[in-house]
Structure 1
Amino acid sequence: MPTTDSLTTPMYRCPAIFQGQASLIAAESTRHGGVSPAPYHSLNLGGSTQDDPAHVAENNRRFFAALGVKPEQVAKSHQVHGDRILPVTTPGRFEGYDALITHTPGVQIAVTVADCTPILIYDPVKKTVAAIHAGWRGTVAHIVRKTLVLFESEYGVQPDTCLAYVGTCIDECSFEVNEDVAMHFDSSFKRWDSERSKFFIDLKKANREDLLEAGVRPENVEVSAFSTVLNNEDYFSHRLEKGLTGRMLATIGIAGT
């Protein structure tokens, strides 16, 4: 897979958990290296904004070219904050799925985020990959666990051989919610702040726990050290920027032969 030093290649970062995996292409974009003007500056990769579509197309071309991937190899879905998972064998644009899985070389799957949690999974035994978009609704619907169940039924994947990355999203100290959201989370994933009369939710922790509950080994899980809010100079945050911002991509695939 491509390697990158986060200090010298700011367009994307490659999860360390996947380093050394032959033919695997896995990365998470930042907001740098694109052509979009403010408020989408600069590497806006999401089409669900008011940014010029030509800018978004050029940003996608640049991002995937840096990974050695052609745009026509990419599979994405219009995400709906649900728990539907689609096995794909061909590139394209799909509708209504928040996770994609494949074991087809040359198909690069991707999810779009700007505060929600991206999760990338790779099974080096069955050469199978997953890209998951988990907002708070997807998290409480256990989309991560459901993806691993489908991994096994579709491809015979065993969770204890998988490597997983819980990506950059809104951090716990920034994800302030009311009781109507907090009530869906276990107490270990929420914190009550009496001064602000709000709950704070830890999406990274909740999704990591789902990986472990599904059978992924703790040593095989990496959690991003970055935050869309605290590191907003490098990542887009829908909440912090009040909706007027771009989107990142988290992507994974097996290089074609």
Structure 2
Amino acid sequence: MPNPYPLFRPAPNLTEFKNLIAIESTRHGGVSPAPFTSLNVGYNTPDTEENVTENRLRLYSELGIRPDQVASSHQIHGIEVLLAEAPGRYSGYDALITNKPGVFVGVSVADCTPILVYDAHNQAVAAIHAGWRGTVGGVVSAALQAMKTSFNTRPADCYAYVGTCIDETSFEVGAEVAEQFAPGFKRLDAYTDTWFVNLKSANAHQLTSFGIPPSQIGISSFSSVLNNDDYYSHRLEKGQTGRMMALIGIKS
């Protein structure tokens, strides 16, 4: 019988590629106590390093990979892209790309949008972290351009997944934030005079603007707020929460 509380969910539109691991973790199956209950994989939280390390080990074990195969970064809500030619913990990057089999790139999230990209022709991948600042700055576009430069990635060869994040109905923002988004990605509630932003749509638009066919883009049906039993939400839990990981890589 399948585990009703899995440690991760695969990116559903990428499961056909048997040489690929592409997932986003849940909050289940870890050792962290409240408020980080329970699979907190974020080192940049008040949880103990020992708990986070054990949680990551559990996740990696479930995926059949080792900790020394993972490349990640301390994220800064920017648009810098790392060409990850080796595993390790880096700093200052919100997107990581690689074409090295056995190297898995990952980003951590708890309301921000994770985006995973697979270039099936050149066997290259990207993991991208897009909060509202990164979305406005074009971090997805920057990562795709870096893949084009580094791997000769073509849009028609790409498959992408826009992962679980805060949903449009929950992402209320001030006018100073809303004004930075194009009209198609924001909504003004006439009754409350407040703005709401759709991060999933805004980041999916960067994928299609690069030329990736919409039929090759999947979008998570989950919300970190509305499905808080399964996912962490920094906003809903007022900052006292853990982090999920979105991870992708080609098996060696």
TM-score by length of 1: 0.96
- 1:144-169 CA distances to partner (integer Å, 9 max, x unpaired)? 11111111110111011100000000
- Amino acid of the structure 2 residue aligned with 1:156: N
Equivalence for 2:226: 230
Coordinate RMSD, CA, aligned: 1.2
Aligned length: 252
**How far apart, in 2, do the equivalents of 1:43 and 1:98 lie?**
22
Equivalence for 1:149: 145
Equivalence for 1:180: 176
Residue 102 of structure 1 pairs with residue 98 of structure 2: yes
Equivalence for 1:68: 64
**How far apart, in 2, do the equivalents of 1:216 and 1:47 lie?**
33
Equivalence for 2:251: 255
Residue 87 of structure 1 pairs with residue 83 of structure 2: yes
- 1:153-186 CA distances to partner (integer Å, 9 max, x unpaired)? 1011101110000000000000000111001000
Alignment of structure 1 residues 1-257 onto 2, 5 Å: 8=4, 10-256=6-252
**How far apart, in 1, do the equivalents of 2:152 and 2:230 lie?**
38
- 1:175-198 CA distances to partner (integer Å, 9 max, x unpaired)? 000111001000100000122221
- Amino acid of the structure 2 residue aligned with 1:45: V
Secondary structure (helix, strand or coil) at the match of 1:209 reads helix
Deviates most, 94-103 or 187-196:
187-196
How many Å apart are 1:19 and its aligned residue?
Answer: 1.2
**How far apart, in 2, do the equivalents of 1:26 and 1:209 lie?**
21
Secondary structure (helix, strand or coil) at the match of 2:32 reads coil
**How far apart, in 2, do the equivalents of 1:22 and 1:194 lie?**
48
- 1:107-152 CA distances to partner (integer Å, 9 max, x unpaired)? 1110000000000000110000000000001101111111111111
**How far apart, in 1, do the equivalents of 2:213 and 2:182 lie?**
21
**How far apart, in 2, do the equivalents of 1:129 and 1:111 lie?**
13
Gaps of 5+ in 1: none
| Runs of 4+ deviating beyond 4 Å | none
Gaps of 5+ in 2: none
How many Å apart are 1:105 and its aligned residue?
Answer: 0.7
Secondary structure (helix, strand or coil) at the match of 1:51 reads coil
TM-score by length of 2: 0.98
Question: Is contact 2:70–2:103 with CA below 8 Å preserved after alignment?
Answer: yes
- Amino acid of the structure 2 residue aligned with 1:11: L
**How far apart, in 1, do the equivalents of 2:199 and 2:42 lie?**
22
Secondary structure (helix, strand or coil) at the match of 1:180 reads helix
